[in-house]
Amino acid sequence: MSHISIDAHRQRGKISKYIYGQFSEHLGRSIYGGLWVEPNSNIPNINGLRTDAITALKAIKVPVLRWPGGCFADTYHWADGIGPADKRKKIVNTSWGSVVENNHFGTHEYFELLNQLGADAYVNGNLGSGTVQEMSEWVEYMTFNGTSPMADLRTANGHKDPWHVKFFGVGNESWGGGGNMRPEYYADLYRQYQTFLTSYDSDSPLYKIASGPNVDDYHWMDVLMKNAAPYMDGISLHHYALASAWEDKRPALAFPEAEWFSLIKSAQKMDELITKHSTIMDKYDPEKRVGLIVDEWGSWLRAEQGTNPAFLYQQNTIRDAMIAAITLHIFQKHVDRVQMANIAQMVNVLQSMLLTDGSKIVKTPTYYIFKMFLKHQDAIAMDTLDDLSETTSASISKNKDGYFVSLCNYGLTATDTITVDMDSLISTVSGEMLRGTKMDQHNDFDHPDEVSPESFTAITHDSHQLTAKIPPMSVVTLQIDTVN
Ligand code: AHR
């Protein structure tokens, strides 16, 4: 039994739509094959971008896309990825399997992708192996409107108008693959690099993001905030859900019951991480101006058998749907600090929305959570009074018609009966459900609809209270229309 009480006056604040952000890196088949297939491909595409993927992603209203990495960002030299495709440098992707990177997907192709998706840009710059000048010129190339060496080069490459860059990351995981730096050293470099990232559009200045801590490295957060907070708009946090130790990645399918719960427990740690990092941030930024940007999150499981382990291709089950719902609920609890989050990664890598195989494509259970949760984007998070069962997670937002409720019962056997009380008059309630009947239920290319949303009707209500019976291994959303 669970109970939730909604008081219209208890509001946490706006849920930034950017919490529903995505991440796509030059890693395995995330970009190449998953999104980019070349304009002359037999796979239907518009300007090289596969139409089936774009159509599916448009339906989840991707608000922002982080690119080009991840680890790859700190080896990426943007000038390799502009100009005629056949003249672009072929490099070795030393971060991910030492495969050839032909640079056919570069800055222009990224903005074409954003344009087709209707998403905002989050470009991650190279601080690890790139210069201040290189980073500064990339911003000039992308955003300067006028005559300048980089703007002229952009025009010569076929794009006269500048693009809009909303978010810019200064390095990635600088404590590790991004340079193995100490926080004091990175804080100084961050201050230096960001100085030369000019906001050419004064109406919409760059939102600059510092490379933040790994999981629970609170020392990194403290040093960065102490030394560089006034120079940043956001600071990143990375946390992946693991079913066991980092060195012992567990399978995405056919896992034991214990790993259902260990993966979920690992995802739930996000709440503690955000709380503790926010407390440190509060010391230096009590007004909460600086955003905590969780720009890598999701489940990290063993790569599927027969695939290149460096490509991080994993299946996605109803368990991943639980991870997505629970984590998004945590972000919505912390709307005062979490200004953006980017699940890793959008296609074919880690906890993805879509899986592709040649011309085939399949939507994952995680995709459906993003679709079912659309009404939370930019709505007002409610601070409800909850008494939830041990295996239930919930989040409620207010929209123009009433309330949008998402509920996740991650128990394996028991249905949870949830009552929701509210101080306004209920007019109608409609519901949707994503449900598993076994722990590793998933969609594959031969069975694409094993897990997909269905209408949810196990609801009764009177004027101010509703009751819903939430089956185990399910996520339910309810739109409660009210009369005030
Ligand atoms: O998302 C995969 C990798 O995980 C990213 O490249 C890196 O930043 C993190 O370690």
- Among 22, 24, 25, 347, which residue has the most ligand 1 atoms within 8 Å of its CB, making it the best to mutate? 25
In angstroms, what is the span from residue 71 Cα to ligand 1's centroid?
6
Predicted confidence at residue 236, as pLDDT, reads 98
pLDDT digit string (tens) for 444-466?
Answer: 999 999 999 999 999 999 999 99
* pLDDT interval class at 370 (50, 70, 90): very high
**Mutate which of 296, 312, 351 to test ligand 1's pocket (most atoms within 8 Å of Cβ)?**
296
Instruction: Pick the catalytic residue from 25, 173, 247, 390.
Output: 173
Q: What percent of the chain lies above the pLDDT cut of 70?
A: 100
Q: How many A from CA of 394 to the centre of ligand 1?
A: 29
Ligand 1 atom 5: residue of nearest CA: 70
pLDDT at 351: 98
pLDDT for position 143: 98
Average pLDDT over residues 116-142: 98
pLDDT at residue 61 in the model = 98
- For the chain, the average pLDDT equals 97
Residue nearest to atom 2 of ligand 1 (CA): 70
Q: What confidence score (pLDDT) does residue 380 get?
A: 98
User: Rounded distance, CA 484 to CA 480, Å?
Assistant: 12
**pLDDT on residue 461:** 96
Nearest residue by C-alpha to atom 3 in ligand 1: 70
Nearest CA, atom 4, ligand 1:
70
Q: Active site includes 184?
A: no
pLDDT tens-digit series, residues 202-217: 899 999 999 999 999 9
Q: Which atom belonging to ligand 1 lies closest to the Cα atom of 296?
A: 1
At 138, is the pLDDT very low, low, confident or very high (cuts 50, 70, 90)? very high
Quote the pLDDT of residue 328.
98
pLDDT in tens, 26-35: 999 999 999 9
Q: What is the mean pLDDT of residues 229-252?
A: 98
Instruction: Kindly give the distance from the C-alpha atom of residue 192 to the centroid of ligand 1, in angstroms, as a whole number.
Output: 24
**The ligand 1 atom nearest the CA atom of 172:** 8
Q: Which pLDDT belongs to residue 325?
A: 98
Residue nearest to atom 9 of ligand 1 (CA): 70
**Amino acid 58: pLDDT:** 98
Which residue CA neighbors atom 8 of ligand 1 most closely?
70
Is a pLDDT exceeding 90 seen at residue 23? yes
127, 236, 238, best to mutate for ligand 1 pocket (most atoms within 8 Å of CB): 238
Q: Give the pLDDT confidence score for residue 212 in this predicted structure.
A: 98
Query: So what's the pLDDT on residue 113?
Result: 98
pLDDT at position 484 over 80: no
Instruction: Please give the number of the atom of ligand 1 that sits closest to the Cα of 96.
Output: 6
70 C-alpha vs ligand 1 centroid, how far in Å? Answer: 5
pLDDT of residue 303: 98
Ligand 1 centroid, distance to 215 Cα (angstroms)? 13
- Specify the pLDDT at position 177: 97
- pLDDT (average), residues 149-166: 98
- Ligand 1, atom nearest to 312 Cα: 2
Mean per-residue pLDDT for 389-401?
Answer: 96
CA of 150 to the centre of ligand 1 (A): 30
- Per-residue confidence band for 192, with pLDDT thresholds at 50, 70 and 90: very high
Residue 307, pLDDT above cutoff 90? yes
pTM: 0.98
257 is catalytic: no
Q: Which of 172, 214, 311 to mutate to test the pocket of ligand 1 (most atoms within 8 A of CB)?
A: 172
Which protein residue's CA is at the shortest distance from atom 7 of ligand 1?
A: 70
Summarize the confidence of residues 255-268 as an average pLDDT. Answer: 98
pLDDT at residue 197, as a whole number: 98
Please give all residues whose beta carbon lies within 6 A of any atom in ligand 1, as ranges: 25, 69-71, 172-173, 296, 344-345, 350
Average pLDDT over residues 310-321: 98
Q: Exactly one of 38, 296, 432, 454 is catalytic; which is it?
A: 296
Atom of ligand 1 nearest to the CA of 176: 10
